[in-house]
Amino acid sequence: MINEQQYQEIKRRVKRISGFYRHLAIYVLVIAGLAAINLMTYADEIWFIYPMLGWGIGIAAHGFSVFVGEGWTKSWEERKIRELLEKESKTN
């Protein structure tokens, strides 16, 4: 059985994942719309790739923070806490 703190942590993580997927869905819809407008009005100059690339970098950063970054920072924080606790116990 999980305690309240674990439940809240899981709930927070699910919200972060859900937020990423909403962001990704909006990105796909908007970029598809921009591509359609671009190709129907002035196909000689492809300009929709610029917002696609710029926003794509933001999507990648968001995905990294949700799926990779949080685990990386937590493990770093845990290592740092252990390191400082060991240092503190040696001085006492």
8 A C-beta contact, residue 53 and residue 36: no
Torsion of CA 62, 68, 70, 72, to 10 degrees: -140
**Domain of residue 31, residue span:** 4-91
Number of domains observed in the structure of the chain: 1
- Could you tell me the CA-to-CA distances from 82 to 9, 14, 61, 69 in Å, in that order? 21, 28, 29, 20
Q: Within 13 Å, how many C-alpha atoms sit on residue 19's CB side?
A: 12
Query: Which pLDDT band, with edges at 50, 70 and 90, does 5 fall under?
Result: confident
More confident residue, 43 or 38: 38
Position 23 scores a pLDDT of: 98
8 A C-beta contact, residue 53 and residue 27: no
pLDDT in tens, 40-78: 998 899 999 999 999 999 999 999 989 887 666 677 777
Global pTM value: 0.73
More confident residue, 31 or 42: 31
